[in-house]
Amino acid sequence: MIRYKKEFKQSLVEMHNQGRSYTDLPAEYGPSVDSIRNWVKLYAVHEVDGEKWTQADVNALQKENDKLREELEILKRAAALLSKYN
């Protein structure tokens, strides 16, 4: 499986947004039509309360939130253990 850099993906999305078809881009640059469609969805910009977000931004925030929740649970357990011994 080929891993494409974020900048490459975004450049293909931009080309598509400027009018290039889903079938033209794979012929010239290599990724599949399905990959490019997914990237277009991933990097589409949506405005919420005056701020611009992409699905990639939302995914990153969800990942960070999951990590922070896990850390919070660890800290709660550590606090409970400490309170037992104090």
Partners of residue 51 on adjacent β-strands: 48
Alpha carbon distance 71, 69 (integer Å): 5
Could you tell me the pTM of the whole model? 0.65
44 CB contacts (<8 Å, ≥6 apart)?
Answer: 13, 54, 55
Alpha carbon distance 81, 12 (integer Å): 52
Q: Where are the domains of the chain?
A: 6-85
pLDDT one-digit tens code per residue, 34-84:
999 999 999 988 888 999 998 889 999 999 999 999 999 999 999 998 888
Scan for tokens 């999951």, then name that residue.
Answer: 66
